[in-house]
Structures are given as C-alpha cells and as structure tokens.
Amino acid sequence: MTHQSELIAEDILGYLKQQEEKSLLRFITCGSVDDGKSTLIGRLLWDSKFIFEDQLAALEADSKRVGTQGEEIDFSLLLDGLQAEREQGITIDVAYRFFSTDKRKFIVADTPGHEQYTRNMVTGASSADVAVILVDARKGLLTQTRRHSYLVSLVGIRKVVLAINKMDLVAYDQQVFQDICRKYHEFAADLGFEEICCIPLSALKGENIISAGENTPWYQGPSLLHHLETLGLPDNSHNKPFRMRVQWVNRPNLDFRGFCGTIASGTIHPGDQIIVASSGKQSRVARIITIDGDLDVAVAGQAVTLTLEDEIDISRGEMLTASDSKSASSDRLKAKIVWMHDQHLLPGRSYLLKMGAATTPVQIAEIIHKVNVNSLQKEPGKALGLNEVGLCRLNLSNVISCDLYLETRMTGSFILIDRLTNATVGAGMVEEILSPSDRIPWQEIDVDSAALADIKGQKPAVIWITGRRRSGKTTLANMVQKHLHSAGRHSCLFDGDNLRRGLNSDLDDSDSGQVEHIRRIGEVAKLAAEAGLIVLVATTSRYAIERKRAREITGKIDFLEVYLDSPLETCIARYNGYDQSQPGTNQSMRNMSEISYEPPKSAELTLDGRLNPKALAEEVIQFLEGMNPSPEWII
C-alpha cells in the first residue's frame, strides 16, 4: 500500500539499502489542544501513502464509530490510540510514528496540548530536531502556543515550523495568516530560533500538506512536507567531540574487558586516544565491537563496545571523551529544571540526579529565578510547582562529568528522581558547570572531634526526636538531658521553636522554609557532635526525606531517630492549652489537623506518646545503654 511497495516486492535488499542511506529527521507537533496536531500527522501519513491496508481498514471503521468528522475519515484516530484519548478527543500520551518519502525518513512525535501533560510534551521534544507548532487560525496565539514555544527553545530546538492550521475556517484569509506570523515573530524574537517558517494549512482538507494548495494562491512558500524534506539537519553530532558514557562494563572472562555504551557525539576509530573524564587517565581504542562484527569507525547514535589497549579503571557511568576535547567534571551545576510532579521542588531537599548511567544524590541549593513561560519574564520563587521552569543551583554529592546542554544534548541533560518513591520528578538541562567544591580548601583542625570526645569520656551522638507538633518532644528531650547531666555526660539540646527565634528567624512556615529549617539544624547538630557532645534535637521535622537528609549530614556520627508517637487528639489538646496560656500565638498557626506529617517507618526507637514523659525518658536511656553497652554509654 505504500509508495515503495513495488520496490519491496521486487528488490527487498535494494529497498533496505535505499532506506539506510536516507537522512533521518525527528520532529514533534505541539501547540494548544484542538489545534489539529493528530489530524495533521494522520494526514501526512495518509497523503504520503504510508498506511498499511489493515491500518486503513481499522481507520475507516473507527472513523464511523468514534470519529468527529461525520462521514469523512478522522485522521487523528491514527495517533490517538488510547481509549481516554478517543473518548475526550485529545492527545494524552506521546505517540511516535515513522514514515518516509523518496528523500528522507521521519520520526514524528505527537505531543499533548493540555498544560497538565506538559511533562509528556517535554519528553517528546527532548529528542526532536525540529518543532512543528500548530496554531488555530481562528484563535491566533494562545497561552499554550507561547508555553510550548519556550519549552521547545529550552530543549535546544532551533528550527521551527509555525503551522497555521484550519485556514479553511477563516476562508483562507491572507490577512489572518500574516497577522499571526507577525505576532509570533515578535513573541519569539528572544527565544533564539535560527529559522521560523510559517505555512498556512488545512490539515483536514490537505491544503499545503504535501503540495501547494489551490485555496492559498497568495502563499508562495513550500508545502509542509517539502519543507521538512529539504530542511538542513540542525544537529550534526558527528562533527562534535567524541563522547560516550559507559552503560555497562562487559567482562565475560579474564581475557575480555569491554566498555558498552551509545556514542553521544563524535566519531571513534581503532587507535584513537581517549580520556576517562573523571580521572584523566588515557588509553587507545583497540577494537570497536558490535553484534555484526568489528567496525573501522563508529559515529554518534551507534551502540558499541570499546576495548582499550590499557587496563585502566573505568566504572559504569564514567564518560569517555576525545583526548583533545575533555568534558568538564564538577559537583556544582547551574541548570534549567522543568518540574514534572505534583509535590513542589523545594530548595534544600535532596533528590537523585541521573545523567545517562551515572546517578548521584543532589541537593537543590537555590532557585535563582523562575521563568514565566507565558511572558518569558524572570520571577523570584521559593519553590517550583508542576510544569514550572526555573534556573537552579545544584550541589551534587559526587563529581560528575558532563557538557553544557546547548553543546551536547545527551551529555548535558539529566532527570531528577524522588529518593523515597523513585518517581521521575524533573528534567534538567545544564547551563553552567561551576567550579568544584574541592577548590575551596578544607582547613585541618589539630584538636579534632575524637580528641574532644575523649576528654569528655563519652561517645558523641545525635538523638533526633521527631513527632507531631505538641507531641511532647521538648519535654522528653529535657528529661533525657537531665539523665545525661546527672550521669556527668556533656550534652546540648536544640529545640526547633527556639531556633526559629534566632538562627532560623528568617525562615517562614512554608514547605521550602521547613526544608531549610531542618537542613540548618542538621548542620548545627553535626558541629556540636563533632565537638564531642551528645546532641538532643527536638523538632517536628515533618517530612521523611528531610530527616533522611539530616542523617546524611551528620555522616559517621551515630544518628538515633526517636519517634514520639502521640495521637493527634492528644497533640491538639496540648496545643489548645498552650495557646490559651499565651494569647495571640495561635493567630498565624494553621490548624494542626491540616498539617501533614510523615511518621518514620524505621526509626531506631518508637515511643507511645500517651505514656508519662519520665517513663519515656527512662526508655530512651535504656535503649541507649542496650544499643551500645560500652563504658562510653554507661549513664
């Protein structure tokens, strides 16, 4: 049924050879909902005769059953395959389709127009070379047109087709077309596009899709397909420096050690010198191995196994680079982040950063600014919500090798993963690689934490007491500290509310303020423990991820999480009594039942908050003695 069916029947090898030699263009269709994205792609497939007979029969049947074009074929049904998509007449998930013409092969991604599915749109755009942005001629530029144009520029697409669709519904009015073109050029002036080609279309009628339309004699430009066939490929990654991140170290026996991965950019030959970006160690490529045998040359996009002439240390996630163009390595980055989760991105909170096969914990140190994707203005912000974009400063736990996103997309992009749920929560693009933190020298101190603890005759620790507000944490901490004091132990107590009067007085009660509040307490607790003290922390610390982060901050120092499990009714009763004794303090405090709290799932000690505080304190002391019955813990 395709235009090449005769060649397939007569000379299949010739057909395959012809396909192999064609260039490949990846493009997306995006824009607001109901602009006709799916219909446009369906029309392209139909007019290019790249629909198989069984697909055609199914399309005709589906058009009669669930179509929206009366007796005519509904081309959007070729793309909208999900039941929910057909019921609502919208695109939800990204749909990829392959087709080819005599001149070029294409992979097109049909992306959703609704704002709530922006994450899917970004996913589709991340691997595209060109964006076809649709505009409904009746409506002109909409919020989603601007949003998608900005996101397209953000992921590095530099060539855009502004497809002004549904021209048949405005009587193919030239003035309407020109007005939309002018407004779009004014809007996109600062987005960095190299080329914007405006084409008047009617996807439903096939106007200017494959060939020039009869209803737009005033338009002298190319049809959409002709433009896509002749468009220069914007990203010639073959000519860039060699980059390959190791996905797997293949060592089936003692005589073979190969490094597997997909070449992100550049070319590689046997004998070429390469560098391991993180260590700077060098070697030469001995063989380039594929499933079809050894190669004399490999280029960007190919999955290969490299063997080297030298036995050097290379692990999964390491980056192999050309010897004359090494990538940068750092544990501090500036990056644009597109947030994709209902829970906000909060500065100070820790996530996992995954770049290729390399994964490392990362902390969002700062949101430098947010970007209003409608006006393109920079705005201050303390958090990023779903579908928001912001420039952030990131502190990584380990040094990672990468490139700037605009130089090499594969080695300059990453995803963020929630550390508790393993959900992908954000996508990032590296804008600047900052100086590594080790450039700041660590000053050695002669009297270290071990010496300070020895002189006190005790072992330092952080005892982190958590629970709902008014669950009795401070009361318990006071009782435990009295026990320690009477036993001659040196301790200190950090109460969350007290710290908010001084150290943390600049923080509010928002989620981002809570995250920073806990981070600072963790850092201060670590300093006190390094001075040889037994540190008691009494703070609500609502979120499990923040408590986990505090545990990580304290490093090798013993960290004991004590969960004071008090019923909500008990906490509310204590809270009301507290407010009555201190008039005015409840004016700015939220209803306790509305404050979220994530109880620990694996605390070292869980206490029943309904019991007498003195008994609870004794239970803590007994636990400490039982946990480590060395003389250091005899109280």
Catalytically active residues are 541
Spatial contact of 168 and 132, defined as CB atoms under 8 Å apart: no
Cα-to-chain-centroid distance, residue 241: 25
- Give DSSP secondary structure letters for 19-86: HHHSEEEEEEEEESTTS-HHHHHHHHHHHTT---HHHHHHHHHHHHHH-SSTTS--GGGGT--SHHHH
Burial of 361 (0-12, 13-18, 19+ CB in 10 A): middle
Q: Is the sign of the CA dihedral 574, 575, 576, 577 positive or negative?
A: positive
- Report whether 130 contacts 157 (CB < 8 A): yes
Tokens linked to 436: 């590594």
Cα–Cα distance measured from residue 616 to residue 600, given in angstroms and rounded to the nearest whole number: 18
Separation of alpha carbons 489 and 502, rounded Å: 26
Which residues are within 8 A (CB) of 592 and not within 5 positions of it... i.e. 6 or more apart?
A: 468, 469, 470, 568, 571, 572, 575
Q: Which long-range contacts does 418-425 make (Cβ < 8 Å, 24+ apart)?
A: 418/341, 418/343, 418/351, 418/352, 418/545, 419/350, 419/351, 419/352, 419/361, 419/545, 419/548, 420/544, 420/545, 423/341, 424/340, 425/339, 425/340, 425/341, 425/343, 425/345, 425/351
Distance in angstroms (rounded) separating the CA atoms of residues 423 and 335: 20
Closest CA to 483 of 608, 621, 625: 621
CA dihedral 338, 344, 348, 352 (to 10 degrees): -60
Inter-residue contact 369 to 391 (CB < 8 Å): yes
Q: At 233, is the secondary structure helix, strand, or coil?
A: coil
Encoding tokens for residue 55? 């697909």
Question: At 418, is the secondary structure helix, strand, or coil?
Answer: coil
* Rounded Cα distance, 504 and 488, in Å: 30
The DSSP 8-state label assigned to residue 628 in this structure reads -
* Phi, psi torsion values for 457, nearest 5 degrees: 65, 40
* Beta carbons within 10 angstroms of residue 446's beta carbon: 5
**Euclidean distance between CA atoms 266 and 72, whole angstroms:** 48
Spatial separation of the C-alpha atoms in residues 625 and 632, rounded to whole Å? 9
Q: Are 115 and 387 in contact (CB under 8 A)?
A: yes
CA atoms within 13 A on the CB side of 419: 19
Q: Write out the H or E segment, with its range, that includes residue 121.
A: helix 118-125
- The one-letter amino acid code at 486 reads S
Cα dist from 213 to 19, 201, 220, whole Å: 29, 8, 10
CA–CA separation, 28 and 107 (whole Å) = 8
Bridge partner list, 562: 465, 605
